[in-house]
Amino acid sequence: MSAFLTLMRRDLRLALREGGTTGTALGFFLVVVAILPLGLGPDLKLLARLAPGLLWIALLLSALLSLDRLFHNDAEDGSLETLAMGPLPLEAVAAAKALAHWLTTCLPLVVAAPLMAVLLNLPIEAFGPLVLTMAVGSPALSFLGAIGASLTLGLRRGGPLLALLVLPLYVPVLIFGVTALTTAMRDGDMLSPPFLILLALSLAAGALAPIASAAALRANFT
């Protein structure tokens, strides 16, 4: 556990030192949400009705931006091979990096989501369910994204391929995230079946994705 926390703190420090990952994700999130009303028109009721789906789609795309760097820098400077030969299992290394990605990329997007929701005329009473559903569902984005990042590690121009691999895995998170939010807005039920399924998806991704990522990383070393 000590080695796991040390690795996660290292990734957090590197992300904060570089500063570009979080800023790029937040900037992209803002741009996507800001241009949507221009394309959909001035109908405020239409914007409010589509806001849950639009915000979740913007979150998915913003989280996707930095996934190709998840293992890339460590692979370039040889740190990843050192970590693979260290005392920490490679599954734990993948889990620590995915968790660090969630803390530095997805969590700031979740915090900023209510500010973006204002642009889409989402009712204020829906801000709490919006943050809660995104906070519960967004860990799955980082852990599932780690699978794609490990599979495309070392490939030239692996970004487009990473998107093709990861986006289909994001579809269940998107469906149940939007459904849980709309159910909470309509019925006031935060513990609805879609919300519980969304929570189960994040838990399953957190448990299984590091195993798949570690297997893909080992394949890159052979």
| Overall average pLDDT of the 39-47 stretch | 83
Overall domain count for the chain = 1
Give the Cα separation of 123 and 49 in Å (integer): 10
What is the structure's pLDDT at 1? 67
Q: Which residues, other chains included, contact 218 with Cβ-Cβ below 8 Å and sequence gap of 6+? A: 84, 90
- pLDDT tens-place string over residues 84-137: 777 788 888 889 889 988 998 899 999 999 999 998 889 999 999 999 999 999
Q: Is the Cβ–Cβ distance between 128 and 113 less than 8 Å?
A: no
* 3 state DSSP class of 188: coil
Structural domain containing residue 209: 2-221
* Distance in angstroms (rounded) separating the CA atoms of residues 211 and 49: 39
In Å, how far from its chain's centre is CA 172?
Answer: 13
pLDDT for position 221: 65
Buried b (16+ CB within 10 A) or exposed e, 1-38: eeeeeebbeebeeebeeeeebbeebbebbbebbeebbe
Name the least confident of 49-53, 56-60, 87-91, 195-199: 87-91
User: Which residues, at least 6 apart from 203, have a Cβ–Cβ distance to it below 8 Å?
Assistant: none
Q: Do 107 and 185 contact (CB within 8 A), yes or no? A: no
The answer to whether residue 51 scores a pLDDT higher than 80 is yes
Rounded mean pLDDT of 154-164?
Answer: 76
Q: What is the pLDDT of residue 222?
A: 59
Residue 20 predicted with pLDDT over 90: no
Residue 51's H or E segment, with its range, is helix 44-64
Q: Of the given ranges (19-23, 171-175, 177-181), which has the lowest mean pLDDT?
A: 19-23
Share of the chain above pLDDT 70, in %: 96
Closest CA to 24 of 63, 74, 68, 73: 63
Find the mean pLDDT for residues 149-168: 81
Containing 93, the helix (H) or strand (E) segment is: helix 90-101
Give all strands (DSSP E) within 111-201, no chain letters: none
- Residue 22: predicted pLDDT: 79
pTM over the 0.95 mark: no
